[in-house]
Amino acid sequence: MHAISVEWLTQAAKHKHLFNHEWLGERFFHLPSDMVALQEILSSVRPRTVVHTGVAAGGGPIFLASILELLGGDSKVLAIDPRPRKEGLDAIENHALGQRIEVVTCPSTSAEAAQIVEARIAKCPGPVVVVLDLTHTQEHVHAELANLAGFVSPGSYVVVLDTIMEYMPAEMFVDRPYGKGNNPATAVAAFLKEDDRFEVDYSIEDRLLMTLAPGGFLKRCGA
What is the per-residue pLDDT across 152-181, written as a single tens digit (0 to 9) for each?
999 999 999 999 989 888 877 878 888 889
The answer for residues whose C-beta is within 8 angstroms of residue 96's C-beta and 6 or more apart is none
Question: For residue 11, what pLDDT band results from cuts at 50, 70 and 90?
Answer: low
Rounded CA-CA distance 7/220 in Å is 31
Residue 12 has pLDDT above 70, yes or no: no
Q: What is the pLDDT of residue 176?
A: 84
Classify residue 97 by its DSSP letter: T
Q: What is the pLDDT of residue 168?
A: 82
Cα 127 off chain centre by: 16
What SS3 class is residue 222?
coil
The answer for residues whose C-beta is within 8 angstroms of residue 54's C-beta and 6 or more apart is 60, 79, 80, 81, 132, 133, 134
- pLDDT (average), residues 68-84: 96
Q: What are phi and psi of 102, to 5 degrees?
A: -115, 115
Residue 223 has pLDDT above 70, yes or no: no
Residue 13 has pLDDT above 70, yes or no: no
Tell me the torsion sign for CA atoms 166, 168, 170, 173: negative
Residue 15 has pLDDT above 70, yes or no: no
